[in-house]
Amino acid sequence: MTARKTLLIALCGAIALTFALAPVTADAKPRRSKTRTLSFEDDQVEASFLRPEGSTTTSLSKKKRSSLIRVRMDFFAEIVRSARDL
């Protein structure tokens, strides 16, 4: 049991030492700040909004239709019949 503990401690130490001595890469990307400042001192900025230039439209109302689902009144009788056949 102590040999396993010693081996495990040595393995963990070797992994920790590997990460501690790993060289730091210099080509890591610099982090950008979350805020950005844009300067439009010499530029003229114009904006337009896209919106309808007419009247509002209306739709047809939904008509009442009968349901496509039909309730079967003889369903219970069919269940009893199929149970008897078993």
Three-class DSSP labels, 10-74: HHHHHHHHHHHHCCCCCCCCCCCCCCCCCCCCCCCCCCCCCCCCCCCCCCCCCCCCCCCCCCCCC
Q: Of 58-62, 63-67, 77-81, which range is least confident?
A: 58-62
Confidence of residue 64 (pLDDT cuts 50, 70, 90): confident
pTM: 0.28
What pLDDT digit, counting tens, does each position of 2-47 carry?
888 888 888 888 887 777 776 666 556 667 778 888 777 777 767 7
